[in-house]
């Protein structure tokens, strides 16, 4: 990943982080259904987080997409809500999109709160060497030098 690509990604994630605060607090107020723990709901549009538990899982899965096409700017814009397998033990986490070779094509550091169990945000992928192939979106925290995955999903960038 080039230095310019990293700078653009960090700037775009900084803006996203500011927009995410309200959505994350709202998502955290929900009781996470067991079926969503460790999973990520993804969409090309902002995800509507249901305000009640009634049909929560059904409404979230209805918005879920796994195939993404380039937008009018030639980028992949991925909106997501991640439901962590456990609470965040730190105040920072990472979001990464890995290509078929497990190389990062988009990466960002995100501020959180200790104990946080969800993240509603978006990430933009500018370029990938393996379009049309499977990619993995992950939310993780660092334990020493190793990432510990809180949630992940396989997606396809076309």
Coil/strand/helix, residue 120 = strand
> What pTM does this model have?
0.82
Helix (H) or strand (E) holding 8: helix 3-29
When divided into structural domains, the chain yields a total of 1
Domain holding 121, by residue range, is: 3-157
Q: What is the pLDDT of residues 7-42, one digit of tens each?
A: 344 434 433 443 343 344 444 445 789 999 999 999
Sheet of 67-68, strands arranged across: 67-68, 146-157, 134-143, 92-98, 104-111
Structure tokens, 15: 């803006």
H or E element that contains 20? helix 3-29
Q: pLDDT tens-digit profile of 89-129?
A: 999 999 999 999 999 999 999 999 999 999 999 999 999 99
Residues forming a β-bridge with 143: 146
Residue identified by tokens 């200790």 is 114
Which of the residue ranges 2-6, 44-48, 131-135 would you say has the lowest mean pLDDT? 2-6
- The predicted pLDDT at position 35 comes to 95
At residue 34, the 3 state secondary structure works out as helix
What's 54's domain CATH number? 2.60.40
Look-up of token digits 């009781």: 31
3-class secondary structure per residue, 35-95: HHCCEEEEECCCCCCCCCCCCHHHHHHHHCCCEECCCCCCCEEEEEEEECCCCCCCCEEEE
């Amino acid at each position: 990943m080039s230095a310019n690509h990293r700078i653009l990604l960090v700037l775009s994630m900084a803006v996203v982080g500011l927009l995410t605060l309200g959505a994350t607090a709202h998502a955290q107020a929900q009781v996470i259904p067991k079926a969503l723990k460790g999973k990520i709901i993804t969409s090309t549009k902002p995800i509507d987080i249901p305000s009640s538990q009634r049909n929560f899982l059904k409404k979230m899965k209805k918005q879920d997409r796994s195939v993404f096409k380039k937008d009018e700017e030639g980028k992949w814009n991925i909106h997501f809500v991640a439901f962590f397998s456990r609470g965040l033990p730190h105040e920072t986490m990472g979001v990464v999109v890995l290509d078929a070779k497990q190389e990062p094509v988009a990466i960002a550091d995100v501020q959180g709160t200790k104990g946080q169990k969800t993240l509603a945000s978006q990430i933009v992928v500018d370029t990938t060497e393996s379009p049309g192939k499977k990619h993995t979106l992950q939310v993780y925290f660092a334990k020493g030098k190793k990432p510990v995955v809180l949630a992940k999903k396989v997606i396809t960038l076309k």
